[in-house]
Structure 1
Amino acid sequence: MAGVTRRRPWLVWVLVALFVVVPIVEIWTIIQVGQLVGPWWTILLLVLDSILGSWLIKHEGSRAFRALREALNSGRMPARELADGALILIGGTLMLSPGFATDAVGILMILPFTRPLFRAALTRVVASRLTVMGAPASGLGGFPGGFPGGFPGQARREPSAPPGGGPVVQGEVVDRDHPGR
């Protein structure tokens, strides 16, 4: 049965937390801050918090994008840079939403000295969801040398030229341990 999906009971609880518990916590926090410092100061704090969040998103987002470009230009896999970009995006979304609790979590995701904690958690979640498969013999995605045209900024080589630049020798690989392969 290809159309049958596996039930995920934990997803229901995550959605309940996102759409019921988080708004209740935010409203309670705003009321507590309002009783402590007054309504106008509370509104001012929420506005200043969003302005700080916008500045942090711009600053840290541009740093993450530069790091991503450097990784791609050097030809290495930008796993850390992509995780940082995702965390900045999620943290920025939390910072722009009104409320003190989501802003606190958002700022922790954006700041460079607390982001590694969230990156480790994100890595564990993503790694638990992935199925590891071996790459085909011809490279990533079935393309010789990896992706078509290589990584951005990577020098292209002719298919007939070996990596060392020497002469091309035609031949056949024979595996004596596994005949018939």
Structure 2
Amino acid sequence: MKWLALIFIVVPVLEIGILLWSGNTFGLLPTIIIILGTGILGAYLAKKQGLKAIRDVQIQMKNFQAPGDAMVNAVFIFAGGLLLLSPGFITDLFGFLFLFSPTRQLFKPLVYKWIRSKMKNGQIIVM
């Protein structure tokens, strides 16, 4: 939990610093256009990828398969969409990384390792 508090303090401070730097370097209007553009593009991509993820989950369940990987993809896509809707360049970077499948694959082992450790500790129970 300490790292979560650290993220909620450090990331906004870094975002503000980068936004101020961008405003000074490129100007206020271009910075605002970039922020709005990534938000709009992120919403579009998250919707498109999210609908595909939902279809994948439905197909796997229809075929009596556990939709574990498809569910993890859906969570990444949802998180990526949320990150892209929040203003800032760091959150946009991680939002795009979570939305695209090749880069999402880099983060999946970390999530699976976290889930396994929670299952071993009895914090997650699979029925």
Please say whether Structure 1 and Structure 2 have the same fold, judged by a TM-score greater than 0.5: yes
Query: Following superposition of structure 1 onto structure 2, how do residues 162-177 of structure 1 map, counting pairs within 5 Å?
Result: none
- SS of the residue aligned with 2:120? coil
Measure the CA separation in 2 of the matches of 1:72 and 1:132: 28
Identity %: 30
1:83 aligned to which of 66, 72, 89 = 72
- Residues paired across the two proteins, number: 124
Q: Which residue number in structure 1 is paired with residue 27 of structure 2? A: 38
For 2:106, the equivalent position in structure 1 comes to 117
Residues 1:15 and 2:2 aligned together: no
- Structure 1 residue 38: deviation in Å? 0.5
Q: What's 1:59 paired with?
A: 48
Q: Which amino acid aligns with 2:3?
A: W
**1:17 and 1:66 mapped to 2: Cα distance?**
33
Moved over 4 A (4+): none
For normalisation by structure 1, the TM-score amounts to 0.65
| Superposed displacement of residue 102, structure 1 | 0.6
1:132 is displaced (CA, Å) by 8.6
Q: RMSD of aligned C-alpha atoms?
A: 1.7
Q: TM-score, normalised by structure 2?
A: 0.91
Structure 1 counterpart of 2:22, one-letter code: V
Q: After superposition, give the CA deviation of every residue in 1:15-54 in whole Å (9 maximum; x if it has no partner).
A: 1322x10110100111111122100000010000100110
Task: Tell me the distance in 2 between the aligned counterparts of 1:132 and 1:94.
Answer: 29
Higher helix share: 2
Preserved contact between residue 68 and residue 82 of structure 1 (Cα < 8 Å)? yes
**Greater relative contact order, per chain length (Cα 8 Å cut-off, separation 6+):** 2
Q: Which runs of 5+ in 2 are unaligned?
A: none
The higher radius of gyration belongs to 1
